[in-house]
Amino acid sequence: ANYFSKFSKAPVICKLVGRKVLDGVGQPTLEVEIYCTVKNYEKRICSTVMSSHSQIPENALPETTEADEKERNDSVNTAVEWVNESLNMMLRGLKPTDQCKVDKILGEYFTKKVEEKKEVQKQEEEEEATLALTSCTPSATSLPGKKKSAKPGKKVAVAERPIPPAEPAESVLRGSVAIGGTSLAVAKAGAAVSHIPLYLHIALLKCDQDSLKEMTLPLPMVTLLNCEKISPAKLRLVKEVMLIPPVQLSLKQGIERVLDIQKEMMRLLQPPDEAPSSQVADSKKGRAHNTGKKAPPRALKRISHLGCLITGCDNLEQPLLLMQTVCNNIGLELGTDMYLAINCAAHELMDYLKGKYEILTGTFKSPDEMVDMYVELINKFPFIIALIDPLRKEDRQQWSNICCALGSKCYLIAEDAATYISKLKTDQNINVPMCSGVVLKYINETKVSDLIELTGLLDGQRHITILGSPDGESSDDSLVDLAVGLGARFIKLGGLSRGERVTKYNRLLAIEEELAKNRTLRGANLEFIAFAEESQPEKQLSDVLPPPKQDSLPPQLSQPALQVHSLPAQ
């Protein structure tokens, strides 16, 4: 039977099923199931659940949040309809291993829907023109632009130059999540019918098999602290404080070290009047010991949707000094045993009335002052090796300035400062500010082929690639396989709490174990740059991680690469 099965027809897609499910924060999202005809029988192959993503900032008005939730619900309903009707018919009979052909069909379908939407909008505008109601529409659409362009003009006497107005939010077609969900589901089905892991299937789609003798694991950016921005906390600049384990450690050792830091951080953040659970159990006259029951583990009472601890700070140095204290308490040294990355989320801080960033409650800085502040911060805390979104994407001159000042000491990453993958792919010059790399998120109409093409383009232009999870994460762990298969330098998954995030770290650990067992693990765990001598006053970025490729730095910062020492396989 096994012998003759080799001559059977290759599996083909016979049915797609879309349904509305909930993500990790209780928001509606899309699940896509793939059924294939295997040896004349219909068989369910796999499913994927898309992560939800919102452009609405944390401090948005309740009315704005409600409107966004309604639009998201309508979008998921439309996506379910697309999958169960149009896409189900269009992809029937195709091989799940033919990713390029599937993505081409999905792209053409999406383009058709975009054109239909434009036609509807054009007809609506013509109808409004005939009714002489055009004055309502421009006022509603241009109001933010007028505020942002006119107000800075009044501040010319105070500021050296007006700030660039915020670019309009990129429109998202209702139902577009069906395109991304279907493309990823087909990729998982292709891996399943080929009897290989998804990460290997993605890697084979990106490059030929001869170059896949070894694979590299991305370094995790593990979020430890989420700095809340509500009273009485004053610090607004820092959104996330993330830990990056050193490259000398295996992924498993790095995660264990992060967990040790998290436990000590929980102990320090615990209110002094709150006794640990073990003390509470002991105080109950030994009842826990008499009954043979163990005291329950301490509950994480303040956990963000990002899976990390929530705390409030009053100044920029407070969370960094707190991290130093935690590491010192357990015998670790920041800058040697662990490194930090900061997600600044500067786009959420701009006060367009003043034309400045509100970094602390009541404290404002211009874009040029922000650059000086970051330079001083990195010089004082050299263990910070990455800044994410230190400025708005509109402040391109300041991005250039900060890259010139800090490009050799720190990765400068664009997350929200970057545009969507669809536009990054069409703009061959990577339409983002000067930066070291970009955080890519698999959302909306993104297709697997788009990610493969874009990461190849980023690699060619010497940018680093970071795969990041959206705020509304799901329990689907495909993002990890995508990061490994695409050869991403980092992966940003949030904290080590909440099941939908921990399951991805577990998947990353499983891939490391599998690659090590097959002797195909290469990269950060088995080769690194030699550290500078201890007498050197400060370490360069190349002493901490595999160095940023030279073309990602301004010409005046490009230096000869240090000698690379490869460790023998363990």
Percent of the chain with pLDDT over 90: 48
pLDDT (0 to 100) of residue 534: 33
More confident residue, 174 or 275: 174
Residue of 69 and 232 predicted with greater confidence: 69
**First-to-last C-alpha distance (Å) of the chain:** 42
Which of residues 435 and 375 earns the better pLDDT score? 375
User: Can you give the pLDDT at residue 136?
Assistant: 53
Q: Round to whole Å and give the CA distance between 126 and 108.
A: 27
**pLDDT value at residue 273:** 60
Q: Are 387 and 344 in contact (CB under 8 A)?
A: yes
pLDDT of res. 518: 86
The per-residue pLDDT for 135 is 56
Tell me if 385 sits within 8 A of 377, measured CB to CB.
no
Q: pLDDT digit string (tens) for 383-439?
A: 999 999 999 988 989 999 999 999 889 999 998 877 666 666 665 555 466 888 899
**Does 133 or 515 have the greater pLDDT score?**
515
Q: Out of 444, 506, 518, 525, which one is annotated catalytic?
A: 444
Instruction: Taking residues 110-131, report their average pLDDT.
Output: 87
pLDDT tens digits, one per residue of 185-203: 999 999 999 999 999 999 9
Q: Which residue has the higher pLDDT, 208 or 20?
A: 20
**pLDDT band at 55, cuts 50/70/90?**
low
- Domains in the chain (CATH in brackets) are 11-119+174-195 (3.30.390.10), 198-269+297-518 (3.20.20.120)
Q: Region 235-248: what's the mean pLDDT?
A: 93
- Say which residue, 51 or 432, is predicted with more confidence: 51
Buried b (16+ CB within 10 A) or exposed e, 508-539: bbebbeebbeeeebbbbbbebbebeeeeeeeb
| 161 vs 345: which has the higher pLDDT | 345
Q: Provide CB contacts within 8 A for 461, sequence distance 6+.
A: 430, 551, 552
Mutual orientation of helices 499-517 and 478-486 as an angle, nearest 10°? 40
Q: In the prediction, which pLDDT does 415 show?
A: 87
Residue type present at position 424:
L
The pTM is what?
A: 0.82
Measured CA to CA, the distance from residue 85 to residue 92 in angstroms comes to 11
Q: Which of 64-73, 435-444, 460-469, 517-526 has the least mean pLDDT?
A: 517-526
- Over residues 495-508, the pLDDT tens digits come to 999 889 999 999 99
Q: Is the peptide bond prior to 232 cis by the omega test (within 30 degrees of 0)?
A: yes
Of 124-128, 361-365, 527-531, minimum mean pLDDT range: 527-531
DSSP string, 393-461: TT-HHHHHHHHHHHTTTSEEEESTTS--HHHHHH-TT--S-S-SEEEE---TT--HHHHHHHHHHHHHT
Highest mean predicted confidence (pLDDT) among 81-95, 137-151, 228-242, 435-449? 81-95
Query: Is a pLDDT exceeding 50 seen at residue 165?
Result: yes
For residues 263-286, average pLDDT? 65
Name the DSSP letter for residue 411: E
Known active-site residue 431? no
State the chain's mean pLDDT as an integer.
Answer: 80
Region of poorest pLDDT, from 6-15, 162-171, 330-339, 511-520: 162-171
